[in-house]
Amino acid sequence: MPTINVQLFEGRTPEEKRAFVQAVTEATVKTLGASPESVDILIHEVKREHWATAGKLWSER
């Protein structure tokens, strides 16, 4: 049972998330041979002020 954890900046619409999890599920089924029912995807939405790259918060970019 593949469990996929994804961290994204918050703000995506339900439609965008729905399309994303469908595409990831299809790719997992195709590449790993898993059944769609066995694929779990957890989306963790993160505020831009809680994420930094190269010493800079994304909220300040």
Pair of tokens at residue 60: 């300040």
For 3-22, give the DSSP string. EEEEEEES---HHHHHHHHH
CB 4 within 8 A of CB 28: yes
Q: Is 2 among the residues known to form the active site?
A: yes
Domains of the chain: 3-60 (3.30.429.10)
From 2, 17, 24, 58, the catalytic residue = 2
Asked if residue 47 lies in contact with residue 10, where contact means CB atoms within 8 angstroms, the answer is yes
Radius of gyration of the chain (CA): 14
pLDDT in tens, the chain (61 residues): 899 999 999 999 999 999 999 999 999 999 999 999 999 999 999 999 999 999 999 999 9
